[in-house]
């Protein structure tokens, strides 16, 4: 592991250069590593690159088009990524039963797949010979199968690209590491120790045909309806109107995609409708419960009390964020190797789960290495969420369910899901209570942003002393939402609340606001202490104080230490930081900056590929899928700036810096820094062999994608 390299000390010229770069949100890369194009065209009289001119020059040389959705490509464009895999699916392949066990109970015509093992063996030998020349230096030239090496068996048999390494031609059979012919019993033993949460075809069929019952969900809603009816009758007897949770309506539209009426908003969706009353009157008076005293900020919850009221699973842990597309099982395993403590699945759409969609059900899979594993659910209907929770609690291994109330995508908002749930607090509250009821003791967490709508806080509008005074935070953050629904979420029974310090409107722009996270954490402690003082008891005879998990812009160990020590959070969640540098977990645990070399980074990429081949398979389709997700990973990791080429005293990059074109310390480091997807494809070819001439990859996030 490399340490910080010896860098050139700052002279006045370099000091001015660093200052100018920081002022213009430009990465202060050492001038000797800047591209000659920049050095010659983008310098002022002092020889210092002008960031604005630099950006204009880059815009001229970058042929990528502007996208309608900030930072992303259209789904229709990205569908080209699947064309290559579809072509592979159409290729002739040996019947899986013949390939694995050497026999098939069906005849060739009924099976529909080739049973000619002799002809297939001939093709395998020809392919093995051609790979030596066509894919020199790649993993495809090795003779051993990664699955066979690590597990002593390959479940793909001869269809594996390395199938000859575990096929005994003397007995014409796929064998295990002991030389025994592979049997269904061997395969069952392998799958039991391989990956968990595989949903079999019978369950998938049951979901598709709507033949699976959800008795716990039905029982919950029966009691839920009785409770509402009882409340209405009690109100009638007392001649009162039923109370309704208020949702503050600010200047910015908060309820995207929902129908507005004069006094309410209803979600037009299958299942029970949710009525939300909108308070159109401006809220000028700050409620007392949202104010903080110095005692609230200094005392918090005692260590003894915290042992009793908070779950240890979320205390001082490094949590890998749920990352759509890129947060797949191989990437999670990679982060575990570098020190991540808790992993969470990619976002799982509840409607797709309940319709039995195989690709969505595959997102539930976990590795045995994932000791603390959560599944994140997204949905806008309480019935759908609770049914999904009941299903996976019956058929999956996991430690907690996380409700996604933070996703900024409008496609989810139109369905009442994602970050809009903080404006549908009654629905969110019922989701939590329902999940707690149907999952028999499993933990429930919620991930939110500061607010669904509302403009982010511009700290420059406030005097520094005014902003840093926590007594002013209720006024400063009055148009944010999470702190206003904190009490409702705590009462619903959540075990942890993850707060991303941005609004949905911001997506991932500007800096995350950790002062707001600190404000919410202090309020959380205040609410708990007040309940203890009032001797309020829960059904479990003790109160749960939700753990507060902070999220946003953690890129080095100092960020982590700052937030843990000063911002009152129990743990942190890391997303983009892990995509840029999966070794961030090692840096945090060892409290150091790691000036990682290009060869070490390339070894990490090869580790990811090996983990991908284990997960997606070592046949042609598995290799194609591994390549696809490797390219998605590289579309993020290329943004990492090596510490050793940053000017002193800068020891790490910033998410909000623009990065000028630069050379690495060697050719490999330069290649790994390329933002051109053709270079990412080249990196994949160094590991997985050549791609066809018509191969195309469109990254999920904006980059130069010509090839």
**Final residue of a structural domain among 194, 229, 255:** 194
Which of 415, 407, 355, 354 lies closest to 376 in space, CA to CA?
A: 407
**23 within a domain of the structure (yes/no):** no
Would you say residue 42 has pLDDT above 60?
no
Is the model's pLDDT at 247 over the cut of 60? Answer: no
pLDDT over threshold 70, residue 24 = yes
In a domain, 256, yes or no: no
**% of the chain surpassing 70 pLDDT:** 77
d(C-alpha 322, C-alpha 688), whole Å: 27
CA atoms within 13 A on the CB side of 539: 7
Helices 425-438 and 215-237: angle between axes, nearest 10 degrees: 130
407 in any annotated domain: yes
Express each pLDDT in 662-677 by its tens digit. 999 999 999 999 999 9
Is 25 inside any structural domain? no
Residue range of the domain that includes 495: 279-576
- Structure-token pair, residue 592: 């150091």
Q: What is the mean pLDDT of the chain?
A: 82
- State the chain's maximal CA–CA distance in angstroms: 88
CA distances from 702 to 64, 67, 83, 675, 699 (A): 8, 8, 20, 10, 7
Q: Count structural domains, the chain.
A: 2
Does residue 330 lie in a domain region?
A: yes
268 within domain boundaries: no
The answer to whether 397 and 362 have CB atoms below 8 angstroms apart is no
Q: Is 52 exposed, middle or buried (0-12, 13-18, 19+ CB in 10 A)?
A: exposed
pLDDT tens track for 612-668: 999 999 999 999 999 999 999 999 999 999 999 999 888 889 998 999 999 999 999
Residue 406 has pLDDT above 60, yes or no: yes
In terms of domains, do 339 and 455 share one? yes
Provide the pLDDT for residue 629. Answer: 96
Residues 537 and 416 in one domain: yes
Residues 429 and 531 grouped into a single domain: yes
pLDDT at residue 166 is higher than 80: yes
- CATH number of the domain at 493, please: 3.20.20.70
Q: Which of 250-264, 529-543, 667-681 has the lowest mean pLDDT?
A: 250-264
Last residue of some domain: 517, 544, 576?
576
Q: Does the active-site annotation cover 545?
A: no
Residues 168, 298: one domain? no
Shared domain check, 186 and 319 = no
Residue 108 confidence class, pLDDT cut points 50, 70, 90:
confident
DSSP codes of every residue in 440-474: TT-EEEEEEES-SSSPPP-GGGS-HHHHH-GGGHH
Residue 3 has pLDDT above 60, yes or no: no
Instruction: Map residue 496 onto helix, strand or coil.
Output: strand
> Of 154, 407, 490, 520, which residue is the catalytic one?
407
Question: Lowest-pLDDT range, 66-75, 329-338, 682-691?
Answer: 66-75
One domain, residues 349 and 498: yes
Compute the distance between CA of residue 125 and CA of residue 111 in angstroms, rounded to an integer.
25
Which of 576, 595, 623 terminates a domain? The answer is 576
Q: Is residue 39 part of a domain?
A: no
Between 54 and 314, residue with greater pLDDT: 314
User: 188 with 288, same domain?
Assistant: no
Whether 74 has a pLDDT exceeding 80, the answer reads: no
pLDDT tens sequence across 549-605: 999 999 999 999 999 999 999 999 999 999 999 999 999 999 999 999 999 999 999
> What CA–CA distance (Å, rounded) separates 495 from 401?
10
Residue 555 inside a domain? The answer is yes
DSSP string for residues in 608-655? HHHHHHHHH-SSHHHHHHHHHHHHHHHHHHTT---GGGBPTT--S--T
Per-residue pLDDT at 20: 92
Pair of tokens at residue 633: 């990973």
Residues 175 and 294 placed together within one structural domain of the fold: no
Give mean pLDDT, residues 425-434: 95
Contact present, 279 and 248 (Cβ < 8 Å): yes
């Amino acid at each position: 592991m490399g340490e910080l390299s010896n860098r050139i000390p700052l002279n006045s010229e370099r000091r001015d250069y660093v200052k100018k770069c920081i002022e213009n949100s430009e990465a202060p890369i050492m001038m000797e590593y800047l591209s000659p194009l920049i050095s010659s065209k983008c310098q002022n009289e002092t020889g210092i690159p002008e960031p604005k001119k630099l950006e204009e020059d880059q815009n001229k040389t970058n042929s990528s088009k502007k996208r309608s959705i900030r930072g992303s490509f259209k789904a229709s464009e990205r569908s080209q990524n699947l064309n290559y895999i579809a072509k592979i699916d159409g290729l002739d392949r040996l019947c899986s039963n013949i390939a694995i066990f050497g026999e098939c109970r069906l005849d060739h015509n009924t099976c529909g797949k080739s049973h000619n093992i002799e002809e297939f063996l001939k093709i395998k030998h020809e392919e093995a010979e051609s790979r030596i020349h066509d894919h020199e230096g790649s993993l495809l030239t090795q003779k051993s199968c990664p699955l066979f090496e690590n597990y002593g068996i390959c479940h793909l048999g001869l269809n594996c690209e390395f199938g000859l390494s575990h096929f005994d031609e003397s007995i014409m059979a796929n064998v295990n590491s002991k030389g025994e012919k592979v049997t269904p019993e061997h395969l069952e033993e392998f799958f039991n120790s391989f990956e968990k949460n595989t949903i079999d075809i019978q369950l998938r069929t049951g979901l598709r045909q709507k033949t699976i019952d959800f008795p716990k969900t039905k029982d919950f809603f029966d009691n839920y309806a009785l409770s509402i009816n009882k409340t209405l009758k009690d109100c009638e007897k007392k001649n009162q109107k039923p109370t309704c949770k208020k949702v503050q309506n600010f200047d910015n539209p908060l309820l995207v995609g929902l129908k507005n009426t004069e006094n309410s908003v209803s979600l037009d969706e299958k299942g029970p409708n949710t009525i939300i009353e909108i308070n159109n009157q401006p809220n000028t008076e700050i409620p007392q419960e949202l104010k903080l005293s110095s005692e609230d900020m200094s005392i918090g919850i005692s260590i003894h009390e915290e042992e009793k009221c908070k779950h240890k699973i979320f205390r001082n842990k490094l949590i890998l964020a749920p990352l759509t597309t890129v947060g797949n099982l191989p990437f999670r395993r990679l982060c575990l190797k570098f020190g991540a403590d808790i992993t969470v699945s990619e976002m799982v759409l509840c409607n797709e789960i309940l319709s039995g969609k195989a690709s969505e059900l595959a997102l539930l899979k976990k590795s045995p290495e994932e000791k603390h594993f959560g599944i994140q659910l997204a949905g806008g209907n309480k019935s759908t969420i609770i049914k999904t929770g009941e299903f996976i609690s019956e058929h999956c291994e996991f430690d907690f369910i996380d409700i996604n109330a933070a996703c900024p995508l409008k496609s989810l908002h139109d369905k009442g899901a994602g970050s809009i749930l903080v404006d549908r607090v009654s629905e969110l509250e019922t989701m939590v209570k329902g999940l707690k009821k149907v999952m028999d003791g499993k933990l429930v967490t919620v991930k939110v942003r500061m607010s669904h709508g509302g403009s982010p806080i511009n700290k420059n509008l406030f005097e520094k002393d005014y902003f840093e005074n926590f007594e002013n935070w209720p006024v400063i953050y009055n148009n944010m939402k999470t702190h206003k629904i904190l009490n409702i979420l705590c009462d619903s029974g959540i075990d942890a609340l993850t707060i991303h310090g941005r609004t949905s409107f911001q997506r991932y722009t500007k800096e995350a606001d950790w002062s707001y996270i600190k404000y919410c954490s202090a309020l959380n402690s205040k609410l708990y202490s007040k309940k203890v003082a009032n001797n309020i008891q829960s059904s479990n005879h003790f109160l749960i104080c939700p753990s507060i998990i902070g999220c946003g812009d953690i890129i080095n160990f100092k960020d982590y230490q700052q937030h843990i020590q000063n911002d009152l959070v129990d743990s942190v969640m890391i997303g983009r930081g892990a995509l840029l540098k999966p070794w961030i977990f090692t840096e945090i645990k060892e409290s150091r900056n790691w000036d990682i070399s290009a060869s070490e980074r390339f070894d990490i990429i090869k580790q990811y590929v090996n983990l991908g081949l284990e997960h997606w398979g070592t046949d042609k389709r598995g290799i194609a899928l591994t390549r696809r997700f490797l390219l998605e990973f590289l579309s993020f990791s290329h943004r990492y700036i090596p510490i050793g080429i940053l000017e002193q005293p800068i020891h790490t990059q910033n998410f909000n810096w623009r990065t000028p074109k630069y050379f690495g310390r060697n050719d490999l480091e330069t290649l790994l820094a390329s933002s051109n997807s053709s270079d990412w494809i080249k990196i994949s070819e160094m590991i997985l062999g050549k791609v066809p001439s018509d191969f195309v990859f469109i990254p999920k996030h904006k980059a130069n994608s010509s090839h």
